Amino acid sequence: IGAFHYTGARVWTNKPASGAMRGHGAVNSRCAVEVGIDDISEKLGVDPIDLRLANLLPPQSATITGF
């Protein structure tokens, strides 16, 4: 693979960092969190994407694990 570039963003979730989505239950629990965020946004009358974007960390921010 040659050189590549990507742009990413960090999201503050008040949760510890997690790894790859390959363990038993990891995918299911992440799906439940996303459904929960959608439910909360509906109750608040806020677009689900706007709710997620409002919780993005600013560029160059460090999370609780230092990354």
* Residue 1 token pair: 């693979």
User: What pLDDT is stored for residue 36 in this prediction?
Assistant: 93
Distance of CA 41 to the CA centre of its chain: 15
Q: What percentage of the chain reaches a pLDDT higher than 90?
A: 31
44 vs 25, more confident:
44
The answer to whether residue 27 scores a pLDDT higher than 90 is: no
Q: Indicate the average pLDDT of the chain.
A: 82
C-alpha dihedral, 50 to 14 to 58 to 42, nearest 10°: 0
pLDDT of residue 46: 97
pLDDT at 32 over 80: yes
Q: Please state, in angstroms and rounded to a whole number, the distance separating the CA atoms of residues 16 and 4.
A: 28
Distance CA 12, CA 36 (A): 16
Higher pLDDT among residues 20 and 65, named by residue: 65
